[in-house]
Structure 1
Amino acid sequence: MAPHWPEEVDVFTVPHSRMKKLINQYNSMVMSTDFRDEMHLMSLLQNLNNVFNELKAHERIENIFIMRELRSKLRAASISDPAVCNCHSDNRLTEMQDLVLDGYKWAKMPQRERQMYGRKLRQALENFTENFLPHMDMEEQVFQPMLMEYFSYEELKALKVKVIKQHGIYKYEESSCEKFVADSCESEESSDEHITKEEKQCQLDCLPNELCLQILSWLGPQDMGRMNQVSRRWANLTHDPKLWTGIFPVHWAMGNWSFHPQPLGEDAGQGWPGGWQKEQLYFCTDEDADVDESGGDSDGHTGGERTDSEEGRLKHILQEAKLLTALVKHVLPKVGSGVRQCDLAFSRGLSNNLVHKILKLCPNLEILDLKQTLVGDAAFR
């Protein structure tokens, strides 16, 4: 059992209690799900997707705001500890997210196949839980004592506040990127709920699909996400592949919600706040890890407080990575056949795994821009 630390400097317990609650919730959900019923399975998949997105965000926050600072302290003391560098390298979050994503295909199959998938999902969740709970216990038992040893009391108090704040930002912030993700994740079931008496009387529904698509072609991706929630018909129209011939996630993460953005400049500072592209600050480069361990301390810090500017950059990377993940999971499976151009230049939230999935989901892709990224040949295997 982990020692009891003063509450104000106990960095792990509060976020871990939330993660354990999520695990208990998904175990309860999967046990009560009737996999013979398509809608039951679809509802479970949506809930599991939300759970694993939050679990992954939790790991990212720990990696960026706790483990990186701890590595800096250890390096300053000329100490090397492999456990600090590899604590998030094998928690199987990406595998679980892929399995949940596959479930949407199984949901459309006959009842027998859905039950087969259900057995596979239950076993995978059981294995993941057996791995993840001890992982959190290890962090409390091993890393919290190290934090107590190498950080001052005031530093730990500030670190705990920062970590809890970052978890709160993930859960509640209504940024344009998160709104886009939420809009993209709307299920067909929720779309059905919008078919009201007023909607049936809407004169726009009298227009032919060809004219509606012409109107929608003037909208940007963020507006498409909003239109997706109007009705089942509009949800189908906004996911017409002809409307998604080009995707520009890096521009969208910067707030430029356009299907025809100007190219990002290659000059220092152009298109990025504070000359960001000069820094080797990447979100995810290790394809065997769910959270990047390679970023390390390339920003030159050896401990201490991070500036507001740096936190803003890290926050932007998280937003970009979340937007890319939403595109791969919820948008490209429906519109990927229409995508001819994919501009990912200067992306700091990109990984080989994401590029590989984009290539699979966009079979008619003609232009792929990956300049100024750390994508390697593994993405094309």
Structure 2
Amino acid sequence: MSKIKFDYVRKSYGPNEVIHGINGTIEDGEFVVIVGPSGCGKSTLLRMVAGLETITGGEIKIGEKVVNKLEPAKRSIAMVFQNYALYPHMTVFENMSYGLKIRKVPKAEIKRRVEETAEILELTPYLKRSPRELSGGQRQRVAMGRAIVREPEVFLFDEPLSNLDAKLRVQMRLEIKKLQERLGITSIYVTHDQVEAMTLGHRLMVLNGGNVEQFGTPIDIYLRPETLFVATFIGSPAMNILDGHLSDDGTVAILTTGEAIQLAKPLLSHKGQAIKLGMRPEHLIRCDADKALLHLSADVVEQLGADTILHANLGGSGETVIARIDGVVPATSGERFSFTIEPTNLHVFDSAKGKRIN
């Protein structure tokens, strides 16, 4: 097992730079999820680690070795793709053992590795079957087994669950997490799904336009997003972002609708500044009208069972606020609601730069 280090890694296609100097270290045995929207560069970065894309600038190290010019076969990595890429004419055993066979690993060792891996992945009853006789989840486990038997230093997962239905994705997500914890192999997992990212990763690398917006634990990123992009990308429903400015003493956020919201701590060096005020839907607390900070009129009500999601208009301003409330509480479109929020759950961002104001 090895750590992976990115040292100002860049990637260009002609004059177009798509990865802009990424730095960071993935520790030995750590499971890091690279998450971001389509086109942000996450798969390109993964393919650079794998050796499937050349590196324009900077260095990638696996362990203590710079791998910029190493062939993929010499990097001690194993990759699991979005499509299973199984050989349809081979059995499960043959698919899992093929890579070892072409590396001329002894037959007894191949048999031992495949059988041990099949036991871990609960594939033992299926070793003699062909891929067409398996479900989507079983095929993905075979693809993972093919990677495990190589005993690599690093696992690379490129959106491996995208082809599965919602229920199976949840099941496979749990299996991947348990498997990585059991094997303890350094892993990078690429996804655009922030739920997958939050549930799988020890840490998340949030990419946007080829730049790292934030690199930290899921709970740190949820509780303390460093940029407006991270604030609105991580969390479902997304964080509410409202326009406003700070009071002259930096203690109150004043919205464009006139509401004044007390902050947990004064922001003295930013007093009077234009801001974006963030509040997560689940942190809005229903209250009596005389105690409310926000008065909302529900436009759309989504009843999800345990929760109800309100899409509401803020004080006739045209600004939309989303609130998550208890699902057993009756709610209808057009109804007015009053909310307060704990000051510690407010997030303040610089309007111009989109950066968090601490």
TM-score bracket for the superposition, by shorter chain length: under 0.3
Select the structure that is richer in strand.
2
Using the size of structure 2 for normalisation, the TM-score is 0.22
Indicate the structure (1 or 2) with the bigger Cα radius of gyration. Answer: 2
Select the structure that is richer in helix.
1
Using the size of structure 1 for normalisation, the TM-score is 0.21
